Structure 1
Amino acid sequence: MGAACAVLFSLTMAAQAEMACQRDAVDLRGEWGTARFTIEVADTPDARATGLMFREEMAKRAGMLFIYEHPQRVAFWMKNTLIPLDMIFVDETGVVRHIHENAVPGDLTAIPGGDGILVVLEVNAGIVHDYGITVGSQMRHEVFSGHSAIWPC
């Protein structure tokens, strides 16, 4: 019996380690289910300004997470962006507050995300629809550790 308990404990610990927060990944969950995306982090003014400009493709379960120093009003545009994107705007607790689907490559129209946004996740257009991601969904990432995260690491 002791060996079986040790195996079960090891499997539980491995599962928890796999689900732990990682700098290069975000998890999303909601009534629709869960999803994990491998991300690049844009957490400096220069990195946020460049974003995904001039990229010709991005893997399906990949994205870019734009992290701000504090919650604020944000807006994006698609200047020099070559691939259509979905944008997921998230507050400091990790709750999705706004979603913009199918942003048009090269469009200079401002895409407002609202007030109180701490992070924005950009993924390939169609991902939000394919997974059923909705406003109110929750995000987990280490950036929310210093805040009152709704889904802590």
Structure 2
Amino acid sequence: MFAQGLASLPKLARNAATIAVVAAIAMPLAACSDEGKLTLHTATGEYKFNVEVVDNDETRAQGLMFRQELAPDAGMLFDFKAERQVAFWMRNTFIPLDMIFVDAKGVVKNVHVNARPHDPTSIPSDGPVQYVLEIPGGRSVEIGLKAGDTMDHDRIGARAN
């Protein structure tokens, strides 16, 4: 039925319709990729999060700005693709966030709890890191996350023990 309906459309419209159908099918598949899953290992257990990965200047600059809510098991993983000193701020961010600074091996280096919405104060890593995970404010305390704990994600090579 779909193919028959497409035949009656002009070529440009058929191409646009085909692209729309392919996108509608592919989007849920992309959302289910392993890159959207992350596990934090703490002394109190393993905690799974659904994350958005941002790994270029444009997406990292946008981050979680202007979002009004974030589920307890959701977050955003910033990948800088190499270890370096980084700093974040909360300008245009409407929800409190915990910022978890993680090295290339998946070891948590430091945690900043409950960064205040709209605060332009710089929040730095305590040294070179490759990843920063932002999760809802206070969530890292709830799960007992501390420096030295670990994070598993497809982008992390060998996790340090």
If the length of structure 1 is used for normalisation, what is the TM-score?
A: 0.81
State the 1:44 CA deviation: 0.7
Q: Which 4+ stretches in 1 moved above 4 angstroms?
A: none
Residue 10 of structure 1 corresponds to which residue in structure 2? none
- Is structure 2 residue 77 aligned with structure 1 residue 65? yes
State the 1:29 CA deviation: 0.5
Q: Deviations over 1:58-104 (max 9, x none)?
A: 11100000000210000000010000000000001100000000000
Q: Trace 1:1-153 onto structure 2 (pairs within 5 A).
A: 22-145=34-157, 148-150=158-160
Q: Deviations over 1:119-148 (max 9, x none)?
A: 000000010111111111100011112xx4
Which protein shows a greater Rg? 2
Question: For the residues of structure 2 that align with 1:115 and 1:128, how far apart are their CA atoms?
Answer: 20
**Root-mean-square deviation (CA), in Å?**
1.3
Using the aligned pairs only, state the percent identity.
43
Gaps of 5+ in 1: 1-20
Instruction: Letter of the 2:153 partner, please give it.
Output: H
Instruction: Letter of the 1:150 partner, please give it.
Output: A
Contact 1:92–1:116 (Cα < 8 Å) also in 2? no
Contact 2:150–2:159 (Cα < 8 Å) also in 1? no
| Structure (1 or 2) with the greater strand fraction | 1
Residue 18 of structure 2 corresponds to which residue in structure 1? none
Question: For the residues of structure 1 that align with 2:117 and 2:42, how far apart are their CA atoms?
Answer: 28
Question: For the residues of structure 2 that align with 1:30 and 1:59, how far apart are their CA atoms?
Answer: 20
Question: For the residues of structure 2 that align with 1:115 and 1:130, how far apart are their CA atoms?
Answer: 25
